[in-house]
C-alpha cells in the first residue's frame, strides 16, 4: 500500500528541494494574475532560474500554503527555505537592489 504524502509534506519538500521557488497563479510564461506576472517579471530581471508551482493546478497547496506560511496571498517567493514575501515586497526589494543581492547569494543549478 502506498502512503499518500500530505499536502504539508509536499510543500515542505518543494521548498527544501528548490532554493528559489515561486508559488503563483499560472506559469511564468502564462501568469493568471497581475501580481504573479509582476513577481515573475522582477525575478526574471534578476536573471536567476527559479522553480514555480501553479496553485490553480494544485488546489490542495492553494488552501494549505497560506496556513503553513502564515501569509494569506499569492504569489509567494521562498528563498533557501524562507518566505520572502509577495508581489509588493518583491517589487520593493527589486527597486532597492535587495532582490538581486539575495538571489545572487543563492546556489542554483544553471
| 96 annotated as a binding-site residue | no
- Tell me how far CA of residue 93 lies from CA of 13, 22, 46, 50, 59, in angstroms: 26, 15, 11, 17, 29
| 87 annotated as a binding-site residue | yes
| 46 annotated as a binding-site residue | no
DSSP-derived 3-state class of residue 76: strand
Binding-site positions for glutathione read: 25, 62, 74, 87-88
Binding-site positions for [2Fe-2S] cluster read: 33
Binding-site positions read: 25, 33, 62, 74, 87-88
Amino acid at each position: 500500500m502506498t502512503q499518500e504524502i500530505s499536502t504539508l509534506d509536499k510543500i515542505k519538500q518543494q521548498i527544501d528541494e528548490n532554493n528559489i521557488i515561486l508559488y503563483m497563479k499560472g506559469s511564468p510564461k502564462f501568469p493568471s494574475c497581475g501580481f504573479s506576472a509582476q513577481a515573475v517579471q522582477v525575478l526574471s530581471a534578476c536573471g536567476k532560474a527559479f522553480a514555480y508551482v501553479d496553485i490553480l493546478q494544485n488546489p490542495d497547496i492553494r488552501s494549505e500554503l497560506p496556513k503553513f506560511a502564515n501569509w494569506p496571498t499569492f504569489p509567494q517567493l521562498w528563498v533557501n527555505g524562507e518566505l520572502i514575501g509577495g508581489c509588493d515586497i518583491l517589487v520593493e526589494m527589486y527597486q532597492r537592489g535587495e532582490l538581486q543581492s539575495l538571489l545572487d547569494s543563492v546556489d542554483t543549478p544553471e
